[in-house]
């Protein structure tokens, strides 16, 4: 269909499932974009549901109307099923939902998507897609029709693809080939010393058995970024993906374990009862109160510790909010606490050396590619000394490093080496060095507000554009998925699969042959699916 038709006159209507920090971020992005309407929210915690709903959904003092709030996704499914039955019977019904943002716990994604997939509502799921490869494959199956095509647009929270900085970087490297064929790439995610303790020592993602490895929960979009740069075809190129040949990984939990606890901390298990709290780098009162709440910040990470602090701060003042914060931080567990009680919630005042965390705080992933045997070379006329054309896409290597103990917080940095030059990047500045001229070029892409260098806003906006293009009849689902999201369901599954392959390599101390590993996984989980 032509993409030049006028856009839909009715803005896409969105449901937010999960009113935490990510759900709120996407609700804000939808509202600020002017391209969609946050029409409903599903959230079991009444305070969170009302907070998001009052800001972005009902927009009046009268509270929610029918179909604007649900206690969970199952209530929405029941409501939508009845709404469709009433519509089929010719009864007047409220408008439906065009798209869903799924922003709940990682381990719940598969259940929700597989249950809602038959509705053919467009979905954007926060990363990671799921916590097992089996669940990723099940999601892929439900989002595809029996004819092999997608039944709805599907987006994933790989926000690194959508920041102006990274979009320009990819254009320079793949589109303009400004440094020639890529030979190697180094990419680092500095998590941030206290940020890691917040989410992966004290927080929800601290234990692999209840969530997943930190490579998946924290860095799956960094692995996707590497594949987007080195595996996916260049913009406009009609080529298959350049698949990796092998995967290796090394890493462990180094710092945040009981053996590293300072002797002077004694038997304390909570910051508020620790003799060295005032001087400890990871003092919870300093991290959450002194460095955040006392300076007027009631947003992340303070609202993760207790989502009611913002309202308390606004209604009762700073001291009342501080008291609420400290009461939350002093919560602790001991040997008599049932394990299920420990596992089901974060403990933000817990000693970082006494927590039950077990995920890596330092990990490398190493990837290699072979020469690409494309049948048609892109280097026509360029002969090697032996009289043969070089491969269309050359062998290359890449490394990714996730490290917790850093001053920078999630400000990715890296370097890409090519035949003609090299590029360094840090999320703000891109520096190009030309081997032939010896000259540097420095580029500072526009850095909009919001999370991930504008990536949150960019992803939400592109998702809304894709929905509108399908809703208005301007594009097919497949065309809108490719044109606006620029990420296929195949790429989503591939990048997640690579994380699981890297974890297998790390745990078994081996190098994984990618194609053999992937063929084996397809046979086990979905013999008809190929990537």
Q: Tell me: the pLDDT tens digits for 342-399?
A: 998 999 999 999 999 999 999 999 999 999 866 544 444 454 445 455 566 889 999 9
- Residue 58 in 3-state DSSP? coil
**All residues at 6 or more sequence positions from 125 whose CB lies less than 8 Å from its CB, including other chains:** 102, 109, 113, 139, 154, 155, 156, 157
CATH class of segment(s) 13-160+454-487:
alpha beta
pTM score, whole prediction: 0.91
pLDDT digits (tens, 9 = 90+) for 140-170: 988 886 445 678 999 999 999 999 999 999 9
Given CA atoms 85, 88, 92, 97 in this order, what sign does their dihedral have?
positive
pLDDT band of 74, cuts 50, 70, 90: very high
pLDDT digits (tens, 9 = 90+) for 484-508: 999 999 999 999 999 999 999 999 9
Residues of the chain with CATH 3.40.50.720: 13-160+454-487
Residues of the chain with CATH 3.30.360.10: 161-192+203-251+359-448
Q: Inform me whether the pLDDT recorded for 456 exceeds 90.
A: no
| Closest by CA position to 178, among listed 478, 1, 404, 433 | 433
pLDDT (0 to 100) of residue 61: 67
pLDDT band of 454, cuts 50, 70, 90: confident
pLDDT digits (tens, 9 = 90+) for 14-72: 999 999 989 999 999 999 999 999 999 999 999 999 999 999 999 766 788 989 999 99
Q: What mean pLDDT, rounded, does the chain reach?
A: 91
Q: Which CATH number fits domain 161-192+203-251+359-448: 1.20.950.20, 3.90.230.10, 3.30.360.10, 3.40.50.1000?
A: 3.30.360.10
Question: Exposure of 331 by Cβ count < 10 A (0-12 exposed, 13-18 middle, 19+ buried)?
Answer: middle
pLDDT digits (tens, 9 = 90+) for 289-300: 999 999 999 999
What percent of the chain clears pLDDT 90, i.e. is strictly above it?
80
Distance (Å) of CA 95 to CA 10, 54, 67, 86, 88: 11, 20, 9, 12, 14
């Amino acid at each position: 269909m032509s993409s030049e038709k006028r856009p839909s006159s009715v803005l896409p209507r969105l449901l937010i499932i999960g009113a935490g920090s990510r759900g709120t971020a996407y609700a804000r992005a939808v509202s600020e974009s002017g391209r969609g309407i946050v029409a409903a929210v599903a959230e079991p915690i009444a305070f969170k549901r009302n907070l998001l709903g009052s800001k972005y959904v009902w927009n009046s003092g009268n509270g929610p109307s029918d179909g604007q709030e649900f206690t969970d996704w199952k209530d929405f499914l029941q409501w939508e099923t009845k709404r469709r039955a009433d519509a089929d019977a010719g009864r007047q019904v409220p408008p439906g939902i065009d798209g869903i943002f799924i922003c709940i716990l990682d381990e719940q994604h598969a259940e929700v998507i597989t249950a809602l997939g038959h509705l053919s509502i467009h979905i954007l799921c926060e990363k990671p897609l799921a916590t097992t490869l089996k669940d990723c494959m099940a999601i892929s199956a439900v989002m595809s029709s029996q004819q092999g095509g997608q039944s709805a647009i599907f987006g994933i929270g790989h926000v690194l693809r959508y920041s102006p900085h990274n979009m320009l970087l990819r254009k320079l490297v793949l589109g303009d080939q400004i440094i020639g064929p890529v030979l190697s790439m180094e990419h680092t995610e500095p998590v941030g010393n206290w940020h890691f303790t917040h989410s992966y020592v004290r927080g929800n993602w601290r234990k692999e058995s209840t969530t997943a490895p930190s490579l998946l929960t924290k860095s799956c979009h960094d692995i996707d970024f590497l594949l987007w740069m080195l595996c996916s075809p260049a913009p406009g190129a009609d080529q298959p993906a350049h698949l990796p040949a092998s995967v290796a990984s090394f890493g462990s939990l180094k710092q945040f374990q009981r053996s590293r606890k300072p002797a002077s901390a004694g038997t304390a298990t909570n910051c508020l009862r620790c003799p060295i709290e005032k001087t400890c780098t990871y003092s919870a009162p300093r991290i959450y109160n002194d460095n955040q709440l006392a300076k007027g910040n009631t947003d992340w990470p303070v609202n993760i510790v207790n989502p009611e602090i913002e309202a308390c701060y606004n209604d009762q003042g700073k001291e009342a909010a501080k008291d609420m914060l400290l009461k939350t931080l002093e919560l602790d567990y001991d040997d008599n606490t049932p394990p299920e009680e420990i596992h089901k919630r974060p403990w933000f005042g817990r000693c970082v050396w006494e927590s039950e965390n077990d995920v890596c705080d330092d990990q490398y992933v190493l990837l290699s590619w072979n020469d690409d045997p494309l049948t048609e070379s892109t280097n026509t006329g360029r002969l090697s000394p032996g009289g043969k054309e070089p491969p269309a896409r050359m062998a290359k290597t890449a490394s990714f490093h996730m490290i917790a103990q850093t001053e920078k917080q999630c400000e990715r940095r890296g370097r890409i080496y090519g035949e003609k030059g090299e590029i360094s990047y840090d999320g703000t500045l891109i520096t190009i060095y030309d081997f032939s001229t010896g000259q540097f070029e420095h580029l500072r892409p526009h850095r909009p507000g919001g999370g991930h260098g504008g990536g949150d806003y960019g992803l939400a906006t592109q998702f809304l554009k894709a929905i509108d293009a399908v809703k208005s009849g301007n594009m097919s689902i497949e065309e809108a998925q490719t044109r606006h999201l620029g990420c296929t369901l195949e790429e989503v599954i591939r990048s997640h699969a690579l994380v699981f392959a890297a974890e297998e390599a790390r745990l078994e101390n081996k190098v994984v042959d990618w194609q053999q590993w992937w063929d084996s996984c397809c046979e086990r989980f979905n013999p008809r699916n190929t990537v």
